[in-house]
Structure 1
Amino acid sequence: MKKRTKIATLLTTLALTASMAACGGSSSSDTTTAAAGSSAAAADTSAAEAQTVYRTLDEIKESGTINIGVFSDKNPFGYVDENGEYQGYDVYFANRIGEDLGVEVNLVSTEAANRIEYLQTGKVDIILANFTVTPERAEEVDFALPYMNVALGVISPESNVITTLDNWNADDQMIVISGTTAETYLINNYPDIPLQKYDSYATAKNALENGNGVAWANDNTEVIAFALQNPGYEVGIPELGNKDTIAPAVTKGNTTLLDWINDEIKSLGAEQFFHADYEATLIDTYGADYEESLVVEGGEVPAN
């Protein structure tokens, strides 16, 4: 399998020679010191410039398979059912991508914290795992057009509903999932709130059920779904911070695949594909009332 790599090259020997000539010569100790300094500089530069690995659109087609990262424990967006089959809103989209690209789809289970890593190391070609678009993430991956709206929300037991994060009790902990926008938002905006961090949605849900934290902050779509499916919990804060969007992501610089996905999203919008996706995978959870507020067709987000 072919892979594209971008590696910075430093001409350290030439630089060292030029330096010696300019000084009119050097002792052996001077030469050793200069060489060591040049080697250290080269190592620092190489470490700073991350190596990215990806397959182009043509390489994916040639292989006959596309690797797409999805969640396996985030019902109803990406999860494994009782028959061991992947289901959910993102999975429905992933399967259509494979169909229109003319390749098999290999679904790769991912967690929130390793989505960027899986792209940068070439483990997946696309991430479709409820990936919220943020400026910080856009520095590390390339986002395609959005296909869903999202905000943050906070869920808590009905016995102690959290409706505000102001005047937080310093002894209480907030449950978050590592690598999510909820974690980043709380660190930046509420640094005094102690965070109970988990790696997966399943462990975060278990923590809430076991009382390991007074509340759980996550995508509002996730906490609303949890409240609807689990009596005894309430979303006391349905929107926290800014409204955002969910979009596919590819490895930084993989323009051929990015362009194809953008064209695909525009084309799917013409047939109202994401409304059909919602009605096939989400309506049992959210009902029809949330459909227009959550679905984005053709990559066009209505103005607030």
Structure 2
Amino acid sequence: MSISRRMAMALIGAGLMAGAIASTAAAQTVEDIKAAGTVKIGMLVDFPPFGIMNQNNQPDGYDADVAKLLAKELGVEATIVPVTGPNRIPYLQSNQVDVLVASLGITEERAKNVDFSKPYAGISIGVFGAEDVAVSKPEDLSGKTIGVARASTQDTAVTEIAPSDATIQRFDDDASAVQALLSGQVELIGVSNVVAAQIEQAAPGRFNQKLQLSQQVQGIAVRKGSTELLNFINQFIDKVKADGELNAIHEKWLGSPLPDFVAEAK
């Protein structure tokens, strides 16, 4: 085969491959989903309380309840497909799922690969401690001992705002930091609102949030260009925020109302 013929064949092959990839990542429509009679929803099952496997070995949690509510709004069955942090976007791009309700934080980098809905959930990082510990601003951390999970988002956030005479005690994980708080080993800890909700369940009324350090909203993700489906999902989110259904799910799984930074997000 001549060089020119080999080049031509290579170009044809590259074109076919590009076409296949474009086809694989084709935009999804509401009509496609209704015709199928089911919506395949990718969800984490190892991120409590957003995603878990329940006693019947079925996906459950905040995201599962939102996913089922979305399927109901579409008038189809929900098929929940367990995904992992690394593979959730590839699952969506390769048509293995139609949408992701998978605790996916909305970031500029991810928005290059998927289209995001309005926020339906969010995680905040804050300083949490006993009711009688007076802290309302970073300066109040002076002389305090604050526990954090080592090399975590909260470790970074607390380190940035803590006065030089504060002691930051680093633990291997959130569970160890929480145990240190409960036992009095530290006065305060840096944690997410998810962990804070678990502390409230374990020790009702003993602790509260002192400072909020950062926030990240989560969106339902669809394949790029799925404008009609995205509009439908955004209308769904507006509806369940307005009628209180989303707040009820948040109360059920996190023991607190839907945060303002999620409820008021446009």
Please indicate the TM-score interval, normalised by the length of the shorter structure. 0.5 to 0.7
Structure 2: runs of 5 or more not aligned:
129-144, 161-171, 178-189
- Residue-pair matches, total: 222
The 1-side partners of 2:81 and 2:90 are apart by 13
Shift of 1:226: 5.8
Q: Deviations over 1:8-39 (max 9, x none)?
A: xxxxxxxxxxxxxxxxxxxx9xx726963994
Shift of 1:136: 0.5
AA aligned to 1:140 is N
Q: Which residue of 1 aligns with 2:151?
A: 174
Structure number with greater Rg is 1
Match of 1:293 among 253, 259, 262: 259
AA aligned to 1:278 is H
The 2-side partners of 1:275 and 1:133 are apart by 20
- Whether contact under 8 Å (1:150, 1:294) holds in the other structure is no
The 2-side partners of 1:227 and 1:89 are apart by 18
Whether 1:282 and 2:254 are equivalent positions in the alignment is: yes
Match of 2:236 among 264, 276, 281: 264
SS of corresponding position for 1:74: coil
- Whether contact under 8 Å (1:153, 1:235) holds in the other structure is no
- Whether contact under 8 Å (1:65, 1:106) holds in the other structure is yes
AA aligned to 1:81 is N
Whether 1:78 and 2:51 are equivalent positions in the alignment is: yes
Change (3 A) 1:34 1:84: closer
Q: What fraction of aligned residue pairs are identical, expressed as a percent?
A: 29
Change (3 A) 1:223 1:46: farther
The 2-side partners of 1:77 and 1:45 are apart by 40
Q: Which residue of 2 aligns with 1:253?
A: 225
AA aligned to 2:63 is D
Change (3 A) 1:48 1:65: closer
Change (3 A) 1:125 1:152: farther
Q: Deviations over 1:270-297 (max 9, x none)?
A: 21221111122221xx5xxxx2536734
Shift of 1:60: 0.9
Shift of 1:114: 1.2
Whether 1:96 and 2:69 are equivalent positions in the alignment is: yes
The 2-side partners of 1:102 and 1:124 are apart by 17
SS of corresponding position for 1:122: coil
- Whether contact under 8 Å (1:54, 1:125) holds in the other structure is no
SS of corresponding position for 2:118: coil
The 1-side partners of 2:253 and 2:58 are apart by 14
Q: Deviations over 1:195-219 (max 9, x none)?
A: xxxxxxxxxxx977699xxxxxx98
Shift of 1:84: 1.9
AA aligned to 1:123 is Q
The 2-side partners of 1:151 and 1:282 are apart by 12
Q: Which residue of 2 aligns with 1:105?
A: 78
Change (3 A) 1:262 1:207: same
AA aligned to 1:252 is K
Change (3 A) 1:73 1:237: farther
- Whether contact under 8 Å (1:148, 1:295) holds in the other structure is no
Change (3 A) 1:110 1:151: same
Q: Which residue of 1 aligns with 2:7?
A: 36
The 2-side partners of 1:69 and 1:237 are apart by 35
AA aligned to 2:265 is V
The 1-side partners of 2:35 and 2:15 are apart by 37
SS of corresponding position for 2:90: helix
The 2-side partners of 1:240 and 1:279 are apart by 22
The 1-side partners of 2:20 and 2:191 are apart by 32
The TM-score, its normalising length taken from structure 1, stands at: 0.58
Q: Deviations over 1:236-269 (max 9, x none)?
A: 997555x221110011112221111011112222
Change (3 A) 1:42 1:84: closer
